[in-house]
Structure 1
Amino acid sequence: MTLRLPNAMFFKLLVASGMMLVMAIIMLMFSDRASAHGYVESPGSRAYLCKLGQNENCGSIVWEPQSLEAPKGFPQAGPADGQIASAAGKFPELDEQYATRWSKVPMTAGMRAFTWKFTAPHATTNWKYYITKQNWDRNAPLSRNSFDLTPFCTENYGGKRPPFSYTNTCNVPYRTGYQVILAVWEIHDTGNAFYNVIDVDFGGNLDSQVPTVPSDLSATEVAATSVSLAWNASNDNVGVTNYKIYNGSELIGTVSGSTLSYSVIGLNSNTSYTFTVRAEDAVGNISDTSQAVTVSM
């Protein structure tokens, strides 16, 4: 019996077809990740208002407001100071910052909806929202010092994929005048997140004086599973209404403005905890964070 082998042309066609098949598979595998981008559509982010023409001289972001992607982990990681609005400098025009540079979206304190538009959904860890301090420097590039670094809103999503439009409902803190909200969409299965800044105007010029920072925070009593904290009073032009106590970035308790101590219970042995305190007045002005006290159980 004679066995005939395919000719050279057949081999070439076979190899070429195989390569095209492999390339098609690779494109299918990565197309979702490459197009998995998004932006804040409402209230309109700085980049989205560029796309709409409400912001001018924005550079190439007008074609791709969904592409503000940078390493995740803000504020410990993520875009460098001065490059927060541009997602690490990719769209440098967005980092231009002075009081009259950008269009502002009207904003009021209280429960507000933030809607993301996704060009393709992506596995999501969470969304976080930060807001500038009341008296931030509106004429300096955005930095971590511009923001209250405790997010006022966090929605965890557990690695699921959201629909093409998704809304977070957040309790926006009280502010007056021009402020910036930083919205962060953290991706679950990559090292990146998407950063959108939203220029907002709260209007008015009511009480804007922030309470002074609570001082001399200390751990007065440490037991097996509890610790007592104490601090000195803050000052405010109207008056401090409450103090907020944090373990790391987590709010764990609130006491009245006349109370200068707090007991933390239910702690774990062989564990370190870092506590801070902030003061708040009647209209929602919140002080900077006190110095931290670390306790090892």
Structure 2
Amino acid sequence: MSLRRRIAAVAAGVLAAPLVTVALPSAPAFAHGYVSSPASRQAQCARGLVPCGDIKYEPQSVEGPKGLRSCNGGVARFAELNDNSKGWKVASTGQTVTFNWTFTARHRTANYEYYVGGRRVGYFDGGMQQPPATVSHTVNLGATGRQTVLAIWNIGDTSNAFYACIDVNAS
């Protein structure tokens, strides 16, 4: 191949690369994190314990703006996570519960919060660090009986948070 042809081939490749990049479909984002045990509502969907829609395919994707207090994180297509009559499995626990987060993409973390009935029962500083693949927090719920815990992972490098509701019966 002549030098002229090589230069032309390289130039064509350099010019075509941006077009190919734009034209190819991008890979889906595998975001980000959820409470895996006790099984959050989205974890129950993913495991087929409760019949659910799209959330069963992506339990880690309940992401919405910080400051919300809903199980679905404001994501309309995951609205069923807010439905208390759906037949969620209730975990039998003590008044003190260890919640285990599973992360598929690890963002810098501002903090984690836990709420029962609108009252914050747990707070853990994330130190603006990237967490390991799993994180555990032990929280005293402050009461016994049937409760829905809202767990929130507040991201440090975006304006969003990840939400998970866990149904427990604390004794």
Counterpart of 2:40 in structure 1 is 45
Counterpart of 1:14 in structure 2 is 14
Out of 41, 59, 78, the position equivalent to 2:53 is 59
Secondary structure (helix, strand or coil) at the match of 2:135 reads strand
Counterpart of 2:92 in structure 1 is 106
**What is the CA–CA distance in structure 2 between the aligned matches of 1:102 and 1:13, rounded to whole Å?**
55
- What is the TM-score of this pair, normalised by structure 1? 0.50
Out of 57, 66, 71, the position equivalent to 1:85 is 71
Counterpart of 2:159 in structure 1 is 191
**What is the CA–CA distance in structure 2 between the aligned matches of 1:199 and 1:185, rounded to whole Å?**
17
Out of 51, 64, 68, the position equivalent to 1:70 is 64
Query: Per chain length, whose mean CA-contact separation is higher, i.e. which structure has more relative contact order (CA < 8 Å, sep 6+)?
Result: 2
Structure 1 unpaired stretches of 5+: 133-146, 204-297
Q: Is the 8 A contact 2:54 2:77 kept in 1?
A: no
In the alignment, residue 129 of structure 1 is paired with which amino acid?
A: Y
Counterpart of 1:154 in structure 2 is 123
Q: Is the 8 A contact 1:36 1:122 kept in 2?
A: no
- Please give the per-residue CA displacement for 1:105-155, whole angstroms capped at 9, x wherever unaligned: 112213x211100012111000000012xxxxxxxxxxxxxx22xx11100
In the alignment, residue 199 of structure 1 is paired with which amino acid?
A: D
Secondary structure (helix, strand or coil) at the match of 2:46 reads helix
Query: Cα–Cα, structure 1 residues 48 and 5, in superposed 2: closer, same or farther, change >3 Å?
Result: closer
In the alignment, residue 130 of structure 2 is paired with which amino acid?
A: R
Secondary structure (helix, strand or coil) at the match of 2:99 reads strand
Q: Is the 8 A contact 1:39 1:45 kept in 2?
A: yes
- Aligned-pair distance for 1:21? 9.8
Secondary structure (helix, strand or coil) at the match of 1:173 reads coil
**What is the CA–CA distance in structure 1 between the aligned matches of 2:53 and 2:31, rounded to whole Å?**
22
Q: Aligned-pair RMSD on alpha carbons?
A: 2.6
Moved over 6 A (4+): 4-7, 20-23
**Equivalent residue pairs, number:** 163
- Aligned-pair distance for 1:201? 1.5
In the alignment, residue 53 of structure 1 is paired with which amino acid?
A: G
- Aligned-pair distance for 1:20? 7.5
- Please give the per-residue CA displacement for 1:82-115, whole angstroms capped at 9, x wherever unaligned: xx122212312222223x73111112213x2111
In the alignment, residue 104 of structure 1 is paired with which amino acid?
A: V
Out of 117, 121, 130, the position equivalent to 2:115 is 130
More helix by share: 2
- Aligned-pair distance for 1:14? 2.5
**What is the CA–CA distance in structure 2 between the aligned matches of 1:52 and 1:105, rounded to whole Å?**
15
In the alignment, residue 87 of structure 2 is paired with which amino acid?
A: R
**What is the CA–CA distance in structure 2 between the aligned matches of 1:180 and 1:128, rounded to whole Å?**
14
Out of 171, 186, 190, the position equivalent to 2:140 is 171
- Please give the per-residue CA displacement for 1:183-202, whole angstroms capped at 9, x wherever unaligned: 00000010100010001123
- Please give the per-residue CA displacement for 1:180-231, whole angstroms capped at 9, x wherever unaligned: 000000000101000100011236xxxxxxxxxxxxxxxxxxxxxxxxxxxx
Query: Cα–Cα, structure 1 residues 14 and 198, in superposed 2: closer, same or farther, change >3 Å?
Result: same
| Identity over aligned pairs, percent | 36
Structure 2 unpaired stretches of 5+: none
Which structure has the greater CA radius of gyration? 1
- What is the TM-score of this pair, normalised by structure 2? 0.83
Secondary structure (helix, strand or coil) at the match of 1:91 reads helix
